[in-house]
């Protein structure tokens, strides 16, 4: 019996009442305890909706994360606003903060989101964390007096390890490291040196875990997905994947449904995936409001099975549906409909293969 596993990536669009409450909190119009109550309410509702899709693995929908990238440092007094700018194809940008003093430490660990989610479901819960490579971008080029980049990296590695380990110890089904800057690194530096540095940094975190622990750790990449736009979709996967599969983890979550040249992607996966690795292909395009049919999902997976062993194949969504809290470009009901299509389409492909 061949089984094709399926998992979500993470974020789900927040309900309107939560979006309004977050805006009100930013203006000082409501208290923090009221916002916390609504975060928990939205998390509980999101989990119930995810269960209704038939999803065998649940996430909290990142309802209370300010963004997938900055949750560990949200509220830190060690930051200034003028950090690295990430441009998107439609012209909008996101800007990271920059660190102005050391030692570097997380304000929030993802374990806290996991604990909340586990209260509301008996199903396995996966937890997303941000990559060490993304956090490394916080250190300014001009340096910080009295706090070297080497000291920063040592502190960063310890915090990134703690973020993952706390989730594993709390009983996460698995931990997904968001590494969406991988393709962006190739755009910024076609020599691939930046990407190699990022991969080396992430592997330094991963080497702190046992082989059994790494089988419960995965890494996600996509060309960015924010306000229905991307930052690096013009970079071909064939430039990325030979290096990407050098990451020492068991699971790889790849944006795929939105790719134009799918056969070259499948060929590159086949040529680079290692025996102890599983690849989860994105089978729902989160940037397209059209809901895929289960039959379309099934066809994508059946084609992939010609290149990838079914035992190493899984399905997922291309990206989170709302990785930044203010992104309302995808309707909440569309996100759940796409997830349902993924779950049903994966079962259909499994049935046809067997």
DSSP result, 84-118? -EEE-TTS-EEE--EE-SSS---S--THHHHHHHH
Dist CA 13 CA 272 (whole Å)? 34
Dist CA 298 CA 84 (whole Å)? 40
- Can you give the residue ranges of every domain in the chain? 5-353
pLDDT of residue 93: 75
> Domain 5-353 maps to which CATH number in 3.40.50.460, 3.40.50.300, 3.20.20.210, 2.40.50.140?
3.20.20.210
Low-confidence ranges of the chain (pLDDT < 70): 89, 225-229, 325, 327
pLDDT of residue 182: 93
Helices 262-272 and 237-244 pack at an angle, to 10 degrees, of 20
* Short-list 69, 46, 59, 65, CA closest to 10: 59
* Short-list 273, 278, 272, CA closest to 252: 278
pLDDT of residue 88: 78
Strands (DSSP E) along the chain, which ranges?
5-6, 79-80, 85-87, 93-95, 98-99, 127-130, 175-178, 217-221, 251-254, 278-282, 313-316
**Which letter does DSSP use for residue 235 in this model?**
S
pLDDT of residue 325: 64
Dist CA 153 CA 201 (whole Å)? 9
* Short-list 278, 235, 243, 239, CA closest to 260: 235
């Amino acid at each position: 019996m061949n089984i094709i596993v399926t998992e979500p990536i993470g974020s789900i669009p927040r309900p309107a009442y939560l979006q309004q409450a977050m805006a009100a909190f930013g203006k000082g119009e409501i208290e923090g305890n009221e916002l916390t109550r609504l975060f928990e309410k939205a998390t509980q509702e999101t989990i119930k909706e995810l269960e209704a899709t038939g999803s065998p693995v649940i996430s909290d929908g990142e309802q209370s994360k300010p963004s997938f990238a900055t949750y560990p440092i949200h509220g830190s007094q060690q930051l200034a606003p003028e950090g690295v700018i990430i441009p998107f194809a439609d012209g909008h940008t996101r800007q990271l903060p920059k660190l102005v003093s050391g030692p570097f430490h997380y304000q929030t660990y993802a374990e806290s989101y996991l604990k909340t989610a586990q209260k509301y479901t008996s199903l396995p819960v996966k937890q997303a964390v941000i990559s060490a490579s993304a956090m490394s971008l916080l250190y300014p080029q001009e340096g910080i007096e009295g706090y070297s980049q080497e000291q920063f990296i040592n502190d960063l590695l310890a915090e990134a390890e703690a973020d993952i380990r706390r989730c594993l110890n709390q009983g996460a089904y698995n931990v997904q490291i968001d590494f969406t800057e991988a393709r962006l690194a190739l755009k910024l530096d076609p020599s691939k040196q930046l990407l190699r540095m990022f991969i080396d940094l992430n592997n330094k975190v991963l080497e702190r875990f046992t082989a059994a622990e790494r089988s419960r750790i995965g890494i996600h990449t996509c060309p960015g997905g924010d306000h229905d736009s991307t930052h690096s979709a013009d970079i071909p996967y064939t430039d990325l994947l030979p290096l990407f599969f050098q990451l020492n983890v068991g699971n790889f979550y790849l944006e795929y449904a939105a790719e134009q040249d799918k056969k070259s992607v499948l060929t590159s996966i086949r040529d680079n995936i290692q025996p102890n690795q599983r690849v989860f292909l994105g089978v729902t395009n989160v940037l397209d409001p059209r809901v895929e049919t289960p039959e379309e999902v099934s066809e994508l997976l059946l084609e992939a099975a010609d290149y990838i062993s079914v035992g190493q194949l899984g399905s997922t969504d291309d990206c989170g549906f709302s990785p930044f809290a203010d992104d309302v470009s995808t309707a909440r009901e569309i996100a759940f409909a796409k997830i349902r299509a993924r779950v049903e389409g994966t079962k259909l492909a499994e049935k046809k293969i067997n």
